[in-house]
């Protein structure tokens, strides 16, 4: 996702033997986003998608020794804190991080998705020291209540990203509160799946990675939320309970600022023959609309390709470059003298697009689509 030296992300959290949450989800997230994941394991759990069978706390000194070993030699660009284990470890971790001048994301893990309690009252009370150090604390709604509520935390100066997944409704709303009265929200349709184990761990690690890579907080959160949603959509369906997400299938193009070449449309004169041809090449048909003469395919690496029925085949050849900063990009290009056939506008299929011609007259589309590129409503 990045070039040059990867950001060094220290993860302080518990291990999940099922690989869905905790250190395992954190490592996968940091790695897929181009960071270098380092760990200080606070607890070992025996768990699967159905629940936590056993927990073994790592001695506090061993947790601190792991942190010291990493900091003294490799260095740290950002820290993610998850499951702590006990109050002694929480206080010791706070002491060890006090001299670090880097972003810290604290995910105050208290209860596993399965319902297992992972933090007692003394540990929760010790969380205040970690929240004082944190660039951002990311509680879900039950965790927010256990910590004293939004107003009380903001009054004490703790920046919060309140995760709304536990609220009722078809949309999930996450809200960033930096100070009382200063907030920003994101709202997306709820993805109906049981494979939600590790969503909080993944979100916090993704934010930490973005900050460690030099991103500002708001775009780091936006990218992290997209990563979580794509991982939910690509969940493998393992286990009988709350299964793991599909971190390994989140594609690079969804995570980079751009420009990213990831879609081409070409014209065709025989719809059925063209569909069969590209399926025979090994592409996966993900949109099939014979009535409109449009089909879209996906390659194993996530790149998409479409055909559109037309007698004037050449006029339908379009190359697509995606950018998360589409409007700013178009403004920059226009200031350099590029003439646009279409300035950025929201399209009915969920993309925001601008169009221009290259020197040979080929259509070039600059766009922003997010998860709608691979997962439009009409996907097969």
Are both 200 and 275 inside the same structural domain? Answer: no
198 is catalytic: yes
> Can you give the residue range of the structural domain that contains 120?
8-250
42 is catalytic: no
64 domain residue, yes or no: yes
110 domain residue, yes or no: yes
Are both 214 and 170 inside the same structural domain? Answer: yes
379 domain residue, yes or no: no
The residue from 80, 163, 324, 368 that is catalytic is 163
Domain CATH for 25:
3.40.1190.20
- Core vs surface per residue 242-253: b (16+ CB within 10 A) or e: bbbbbbeebbeb
Q: In the listed set 199, 224, 250, which residue is the last one of a domain according to the structure?
A: 250
2 domain residue, yes or no: no
Kindly report the CA angle at 123 between 119 and 124, in degrees rounded to 5? 80
279 is catalytic: no
Q: What is the pLDDT along the chain (380 residues), one digit of tens a residue?
A: 445 799 999 999 999 999 999 999 999 999 999 999 999 999 999 999 999 999 999 999 999 999 999 999 999 999 999 999 899 999 999 999 999 999 999 999 886 555 555 667 888 888 999 999 999 999 999 999 989 999 999 999 999 999 999 999 999 999 999 988 889 999 999 999 999 999 999 999 999 999 999 999 999 999 999 999 999 999 999 999 999 999 999 987 878 888 999 899 999 999 999 999 999 999 999 999 999 999 999 998 889 999 999 888 877 889 999 998 999 999 999 999 999 999 999 999 899 999 999 998 889 999 999 888 888 888 88
Are both 115 and 78 inside the same structural domain? Answer: yes
Are both 361 and 244 inside the same structural domain? Answer: no
Are both 181 and 322 inside the same structural domain? Answer: no
Q: In the listed set 250, 281, 311, which residue is the last one of a domain according to the structure?
A: 250
The residue from 42, 89, 123, 199 that is catalytic is 199
Number of domains in the chain: 2
Are both 42 and 139 inside the same structural domain? Answer: yes
- C-alpha pair distances (Å), 39 with each of 61, 65, 69, 281: 15, 11, 10, 42
The residue from 20, 22, 198, 210 that is catalytic is 198
Are both 105 and 220 inside the same structural domain? Answer: yes
Are both 242 and 272 inside the same structural domain? Answer: no
Domain CATH for 269:
3.10.180.10
**Separation of alpha carbons 143 and 160, rounded Å:** 12
337 is catalytic: no
245 domain residue, yes or no: yes
The residue from 196, 202, 209, 265 that is catalytic is 196
Contact 309, 272 (CB under 8 A): no
């Amino acid at each position: 996702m990045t070039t040059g030296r990867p950001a060094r992300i220290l993860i302080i959290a518990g291990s999940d033997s099922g690989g869905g949450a905790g250190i395992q989800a954190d490592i996968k997230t940091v790695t897929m986003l181009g960071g270098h994941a380092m760990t200080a394991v606070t607890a070992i759990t025996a768990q699967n998608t159905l629940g936590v069978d056993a927990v073994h706390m790592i001695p506090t000194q061993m947790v601190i020794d792991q942190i010291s070993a990493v900091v003294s030699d490799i260095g740290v660009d950002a820290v993610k804190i998850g499951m702590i284990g006990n109050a002694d470890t929480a206080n010791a971790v706070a002491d060890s991080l006090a001299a670090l001048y880097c972003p810290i994301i604290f995910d105050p893990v208290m209860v596993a998705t399965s319902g297992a309690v992972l933090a007692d009252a003394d540990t929760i009370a010790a969380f205040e020291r970690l929240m004082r150090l944190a660039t951002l604390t990311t509680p879900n709604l039950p965790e927010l209540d256990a910590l004293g509520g939004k107003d009380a935390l903001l009054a004490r100066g703790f920046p919060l990203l309140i995760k709304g997944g536990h609220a009722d409704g078809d949309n999930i709303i996450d809200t960033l509160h930096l100070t009382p009265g200063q907030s920003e929200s994101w709202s997306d349709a709820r993805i109906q799946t049981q494979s939600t184990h590790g969503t909080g761990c993944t979100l916090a690690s993704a934010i930490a990675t973005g900050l460690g890579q030099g991103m500002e907080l708001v775009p780091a959160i936006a990218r992290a939320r997209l990563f979580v949603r794509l991982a939910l959509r690509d969940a493998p369906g393992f286990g009988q309970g709350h299964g793991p997400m599909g971190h390994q299938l989140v594609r690079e193009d969804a995570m980079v600022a751009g420009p990213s070449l990831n879609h081409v449309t070409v014209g065709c004169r025989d719809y059925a023959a063209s569909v069969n041809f590209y399926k025979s090449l090994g592409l996966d048909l993900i949109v099939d609309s014979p009535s409109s003469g449009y089909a879209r395919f996906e390659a194993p690496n996530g790149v998409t390709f479409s055909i559109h029925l037309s007698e004037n085949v050449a006029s339908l050849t379009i190359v697509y470059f995606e950018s998360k900063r589409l409007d700013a990009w178009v403004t920059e290009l226009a200031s350099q003298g590029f003439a646009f056939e279409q300035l950025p506008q929201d399209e009915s299929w969920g993309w925001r697009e601008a169009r221009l011609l290259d020197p040979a007259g080929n259509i070039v589309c600059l766009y922003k689509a997010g998860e709608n590129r691979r997962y439009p409503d009409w996907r097969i």
